[in-house]
Chains A and B, each alone.
Chain A
């Protein structure tokens, strides 16, 4: 008893001392999870299926921006306006690659099944197959080693938050993430395009009777989710490097985030992503680093068991 008590005293001590650095790191990862989780949640909201191959969309965004950065950046990191343009270029490059791969994925692995009204199990299996195909093909063509990305800026500490250093990279991730998440929320919430997405999510049959092109809407959903995922791949690659299996763990965590926030709910995915990033970061104070993934999977199982609708509940169909 005393030892358990002692465990918590020591570890909460660590948490209290390291609170701000852990919070900053957690939020920085959380934005990436949130951006990837959006892709899961949108596809789920419309098709009621978990896009297993979303991890590979993330990866392809990472690879595309990696090659783009290498082509554009010389031996030393530039500064000033060049950095800003490069970051925007990387986000666009990764995002477009992700969107393109998502489109191809929908066309090849999902649409033939949709045409045939295949049972749900078929979608899952097809998606798993597509995921394995894509990342192994990437490994074959681009090598199987982890490679760090050419940095478009010098990653120095820009300010301290209650003693916690906040680095340039974290700032950029937070900035890009916030802008993209808010933009997407507005696009889905108040444009004609977003209205068609919501209509299909709510009732596909009725929507199609009202003149919504369901096939096109589904492609839009994949493209929007793919763009966010690919851009997240770029931001992740800046910090952790590029690898053909880089998508697996972050995407699984992002899925957890999507479930945590309420799958099918855009704001839920954003909140879930940030929350998951912070929870994961804080758990460093309590467990061995190797067991971080166990904490996340445990959280996923717990959420699914006790509140499968997540924090905000499923509701892409209702006014977002």
Chain B
């Protein structure tokens, strides 16, 4: 009797919900310490906590109430959905457009882009808070740039690059080098404007991407992930220890701001975040245009072919190594570019910012938004970065900034389990994943042990 009940779907659901609620309670609960290792766990359940100001009781009761409400809501939503589907036969046209919300008519599409653009341009007018203006540049716009770059590598070419931060660091340090902010002498002793650093940093980042890529991109995907991770670590160790060249662990805090000086037009970017916001926004738009053109170009189609079936792609004359290196170099270049922006905007460089966790952060943006989907990546980056900045600043429910990566890690696992193609999936990717799950195609074959 009990055994039968334990095997039932209801018991399963109750068990999963309880496990999930307990996990979330511990995640959002107070921290412990080495001397009191159980304090965090115990207080996660027993601490007094208020239920939206309605009543104050122990935490576990609050969470149990929440879990009940949420599961009830889900049940109602499911019931409504099935009922609705039975009652109203959705016309085929509507169903199709619901499946492909971004495959709309051209005027509509460009209209949407126009509205989004105006919103983006007017944003600093509405957001007057200094902290948020600063965050819009440092935490959002730059991260959108980086996510767009990583999307080329992970999303378009299907290569997992965990050393992305290395190229970002290379870009930032190249800026410092060219502008004379490093202990290493600037090239030819000329201190250039950061604008001149853009091509130089991109070239250096791209070259290092190619140099790392040519030998390693022959490897299987998972080896590539580890090798790039190792590369990121090597770069960080180098930055941390070569005091004579990179300034070591103190880094540099003398990178100048951008200045624009052509003929009679003179403009200098300063400490204010708004001009930097517009500069970054301009580059984001540029990147968006380049990358969305790239996606459907010959190169982009070659990436898709390699990603879906490398052997077949090779047999129709696509050189996989060449295109993989190309993706790697483009990703590296955009990371290097973002490095220039950061270095010039913050005036400050420290090896402490160029850690593996930074690469993971960018990876989360791409995965959350949807690999290969440009609009998805942008939305994912906006959402994750705004929420994480908000949590960092206002520290709701005792959030600590060190806990951020716990949440990001959980997002990665949850996305892979529940929605592998991301928030706004690229249609092609979605199809590939569906095909791979149906056992068709040859995307990175792997043993899938399933008892028949």
A residues whose Cβ falls under 8 Å from a Cβ of B: 46-50, 52, 67, 108-109, 112-126, 128-134, 136-137, 139-145, 147, 200, 204, 208, 213-215, 217-218, 242, 252, 255, 259, 288, 290-291, 293-294, 297-298, 300-301, 304-305, 308
Contacts and interface: CB of A to CB of B under 8 A. Distances in A.
A297 B363 contact: no
Interface string B25-38: 01100011111010
Contacts of B412: 125-126, 128-130, 132-133
B416 A122 contact: yes
A117 B439 contact: yes
A132 B406 contact: yes
A71 B412 CA distance: 36
A118 B32 contact: no
B417 A113 contact: yes
A303 to B, nearest CB: 10
Given A117-B439, A141-B32, 9 more contacts: A128-B360, A133-B413, A137-B406, A141-B40, A204-B449, A208-B449, A214-B449, A290-B241, A301-B227
B449 A200 contact: yes
B19 to A, nearest CB: 9
A136 B26 CA distance: 12
A136 B226 contact: no
Interface in B1-45: 26-27, 31-35, 37, 40-41
Given A140-B31, A304-B227, A215 B449 contact: yes
A118 B416 contact: yes
Contact of B444 (A108, A120, A290): A120
A49 B444 CA distance: 11
A30 to B, nearest CB: 19
B152 interface: no
Nearest to A112: B417
A51 B443 CA distance: 19
A129 B215 CA distance: 27
A122 B158 CA distance: 11
A123 B446 contact: yes
B176 to A, nearest CB: 21
A93 B433 CA distance: 40
Q: Name B's interface SS.
A: helix
A301 B163 CA distance: 14
Nearest to A116: B437
B446 A297 contact: no
Given A140-B406, A215-B449, A121 B444 contact: yes
Given A119-B436, A126-B412, A204-B447, A139 B402 contact: yes
A288 B238 CA distance: 11
A201 B438 CA distance: 22
B408 A143 contact: no
Given A113-B416, A123-B446, A145 B403 contact: no
Most B-side CB within 10 Å, residue of A121, A143, A200 = A121
B68 interface: no
A304 B216 contact: yes
B416 to A, nearest CB: 4
B237 interface: yes
A67 B37 contact: yes
Contacts of B237: 290-291, 293-294
Contacts of A128: 162, 225, 360, 363, 409, 412
B284 interface: no
Contact of A131 (B367, B409, B417): B409
Interface of B: 26-27, 31-35, 37, 40-41, 154, 158, 160, 162, 215-216, 219, 221-223, 225-227, 229-231, 233-234, 237-238, 240-241, 357, 360, 363, 367, 400, 402-403, 405-406, 408-417, 420, 432-433, 436-439, 443-452
Given A290-B240, A293-B233, A294-B234, A121 B227 contact: no
Contact of B223 (A114, A140, A304): A304
Contacts of A288: 241
Nearest to A263: B223
Most A-side CB within 10 Å, residue of B219, B400, B405, B415 = B405
Contacts of A131: 409
B403 A119 contact: no
A26 B448 CA distance: 38
A305 B415 CA distance: 33
A214 B447 CA distance: 11
A49 B222 contact: yes
A140 B449 contact: no
A249 to B, nearest CB: 9
Contacts of A140: 27, 31-32, 40, 400, 402-403, 406
Contacts of B158: 121
Given A117-B439, A132-B360, A308-B223, A142 B451 contact: no
A133 B234 contact: no
A137 B447 CA distance: 30
B216 A144 contact: no
B241 to A, nearest CB: 5
B53 to A, nearest CB: 26
14 contacts: A46-B447, A50-B223, A52-B225, A124-B222, A124-B225, A125-B416, A128-B360, A129-B410, A129-B414, A130-B413, A142-B33, A204-B449, A294-B237, A305-B216
Contact of A124 (B221, B436, B451, B452): B221
A257 B221 CA distance: 19
A132 B446 contact: no
B37 A141 contact: yes
Given A125-B363, A291-B237, A118 B436 contact: yes
Contacts of A67: 37
A139 B437 CA distance: 36
A88 to B, nearest CB: 23
Contact of B409 (A118, A130, A141, A145): A130
